[in-house]
């Protein structure tokens, strides 16, 4: 129509048409993807930082002073109860034992002679040759020799004990560490720890729990047998979940005044992870002193209302979701979240079973707007899940 109009005029005409285009009605309500809030079988889990501890720990020390003649274990290997670990020089102790045995024999010979003298004096007491003073003296000599025999036998027993101390054996089964002394050195009670043995299976896991969390855990499992129904799982430092399940066996009786926490302890198996041995040591997953993440779980899953975490948004007033009613109208619904996984979040209040929650197209909707709901492209996964973190943490 305007073949000869300048380009500037055509541009002005185009700009003047923009408000009219903006006021044109959209092509129907926006489409959104929704999921329904449904009960899901959930294993509630609370996570804490804990430390692995051996149930038994023994520091080996020398009980006598002697040269170390031989070492009979491989450092870092597992030893059995009663296994010989160190051998000390036995010669001086064997000689001392022989001397004490001779002293016992001498004391017994003197006692035998004193007993004969006492019996003789006693048989003559009712005859003209008998004297009470002689009988009393013989009795005193016999009693003194009895005491001498007892003292000699005690010294003999002491020598036997000291000779036994020349063999240092393992009092428990476990893994032995590095030897602090080498063969040829003189060891004594003042030498300190020669080596340390820690038990391997089962292991303890110790972790502090705030008093608030402890009370919450107590309420949570009160109806299912209390702490006796609690299971313990462990997440290793590498992030993998340990395949053994433990149990809670101890709750401390004191609250720490500095941290307001209570110490809990669990017991968990620590079997060999393979038949291979490294340096004579059996490989096991748990190591004494290791930091781990402790997951306290209920023994049985429970049914909780859950929605995808991606549907939950947060502002200064708290957490909320967009819901769609029967008239397809959007509403902003405030919720109280519970525990969560990487994909699911439980809802303790704010939603009802079957209520539609917008998951896809959240950026396109506003409260009060009419939408066209359809199935979400990321449906909620329904199999039992383990929820991590304390209530309210995501």
One domain for residues 144 and 37: no
* In-domain check, residue 101: yes
Q: Is residue 392 part of a domain?
A: no
pLDDT tens per residue, range 343-369: 788 888 888 888 888 888 888 888 888
The answer to whether residue 393 sits within a structural domain is: no
320 with 360, same domain: the answer is yes
**Do residues 42 and 387 lie in contact, with contact meaning Cβ atoms separated by under 8 Å?**
yes
| Residue 271 forms part of a structural domain | no
Contacts of 275 (CB under 8 A, 6+ apart): none
Q: Are residues 147 and 178 in the same domain?
A: no
Q: Is the pLDDT of residue 165 over 80?
A: yes
The CATH number linked to 73 is 2.40.50.100
**101 and 157 assigned to the same domain:** yes
Claim to verify: residue 194 and residue 318 sit in the same structural domain: no
Domain check: are 105 and 160 in the same one? yes
Q: Does the structure show a pLDDT above 70 at 374?
A: yes
185/309 same-domain check: no
C-alpha distance from residue 371 to each of 34, 364, 368, 379, 380 (Å): 11, 9, 9, 19, 21
Structure tokens at 205: 């896991």
Is 71 or 130 the better-scoring residue by pLDDT? 71
Do 160 and 73 share a structural domain?
Answer: no
Q: Quick check: 333 and 350 in contact, CB under 8 A? A: yes
- Tokens in use for 272? 């060999």
Q: 3-state SS string over 279-313?
A: CCEEEECCCCCCEEEEEEEECCCEEEEEEEHHHCE
Number of domains in the chain: 3
Does 97 lie in the same domain as 80? no
Per-residue pLDDT band for 284 (boundaries 50, 70, 90) equals confident
CA-to-CA dists, residue 98 to 106, 151, 182, 301, angstroms: 12, 16, 29, 70
> Is position 149 within any domain?
yes
Residues 6+ apart with CB under 8 A from 368: 329, 330, 331
Residue 139, φ and ψ in degrees, nearest 5: -65, -45
CATH of residue 121: 1.10.287
CATH of the domain at 355: 2.40.420.20
pTM of the model as a whole: 0.65
Residue 290, φ and ψ in degrees, nearest 5: -75, 135
pLDDT band at 301 (very low <50, low <70, confident <90, very high): low
Whether 15 is covered by a domain: the verdict is no
In-domain check, residue 240: no
pLDDT of residue 170: 93
As given in the structure block, the two tokens for residue 305 are 């209302």
What distance in Å separates the CA atoms of residue 90 and residue 137, rounded to the nearest whole number? 43
Residues 34 and 148 in one domain: no
Domain assignment present for residue 290? The answer is no
Identity of the highest mean pLDDT range in 37-41, 57-61, 369-373: 57-61
Domain end point (choices 180, 198, 216): 198
Query: For residue 116, what are the domain limits?
Result: 91-164
Q: For residue range 68-106, list pLDDT tens digits in order.
A: 999 999 888 889 999 999 999 999 999 999 999 999 999
Whole-number Cα distances in Å, 281 to 16, 272, 276:
85, 10, 9
Single out the residue of 343, 336, 333, 339 nearest to residue 308, CA to CA: 343
Do 35 and 101 reside in the same domain of the chain?
no
pLDDT of 240 > 80? The answer is: yes
CB burial of residue 317 (10 Å; 0-12, 13-18, 19+) = exposed
User: 79 and 154 share a domain?
Assistant: no
């Amino acid at each position: 129509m305007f073949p000869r109009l300048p380009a500037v005029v055509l541009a002005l005409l185009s700009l003047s048409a923009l408000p009219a285009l903006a006021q044109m009605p959209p092509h129907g309500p926006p489409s959104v993807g929704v999921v329904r809030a449904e009960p899901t079988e959930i294993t509630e889990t609370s996570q804490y930082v804990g430390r692995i501890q051996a149930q038994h720990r023994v520091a080996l020390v020398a009980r006598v002073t002697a040269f170390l003649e031989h070492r009979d274990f491989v450092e870092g290997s597992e030893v059995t109860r009663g296994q010989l670990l160190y051998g000390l020089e036995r010669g001086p102790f064997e000689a001392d034992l022989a001397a004490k045995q001779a002293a016992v024999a001498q004391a017994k010979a003197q006692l035998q002679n004193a007993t004969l003298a006492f019996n003789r004096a006693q048989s003559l007491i009712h005859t003209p040759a008998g004297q009470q003073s002689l009988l009393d003296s013989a009795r005193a000599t016999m009693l003194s020799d009895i005491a001498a025999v007892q003292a000699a036998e005690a010294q003999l027993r002491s020598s036997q004990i000291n000779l036994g101390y020349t063999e240092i054996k393992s009092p428990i089964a476990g893994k032995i560490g590095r030897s602090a002394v080498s063969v040829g050195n003189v060891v004594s009670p003042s030498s300190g720890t020669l080596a340390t043995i820690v038990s391997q299976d089962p292991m303890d896991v110790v972790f502090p729990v705030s008093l608030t969390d402890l009370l919450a855990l107590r309420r949570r499992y009160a109806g299912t047998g209390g702490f006796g129904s609690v299971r313990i799982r462990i997440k290793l430092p590498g992030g993998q979940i340990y395949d053994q399940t433990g149990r809670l066996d101890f709750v401390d009786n004191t609250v720490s005044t500095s941290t307001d926490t209570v110490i809990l302890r669990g017991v968990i198996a620590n079997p060999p992870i393979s038949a291979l041995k490294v340096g004579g040591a059996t490989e096991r997953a748990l190591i004494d002193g290791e930091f781990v993440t402790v997951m306290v779980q209920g023994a049985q899953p429970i049914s909780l209302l859950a929605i995808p975490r991606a549907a939950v948004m947060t502002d200064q007033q708290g957490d909320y979701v967009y819901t769609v009613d029967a008239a397809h109208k959007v509403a902003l619904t405030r919720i109280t979240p519970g525990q969560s996984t990487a994909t699911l979040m439980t809802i303790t209040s704010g939603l009802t079973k079957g209520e539609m929650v917008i998951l896809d197209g959240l950026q396109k909707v506003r409260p009060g707007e009419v939408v066209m709901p359809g199935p979400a492209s990321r449906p909620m996964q329904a199999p039992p899940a383990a929820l991590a973190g304390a209530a309210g943490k995501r």
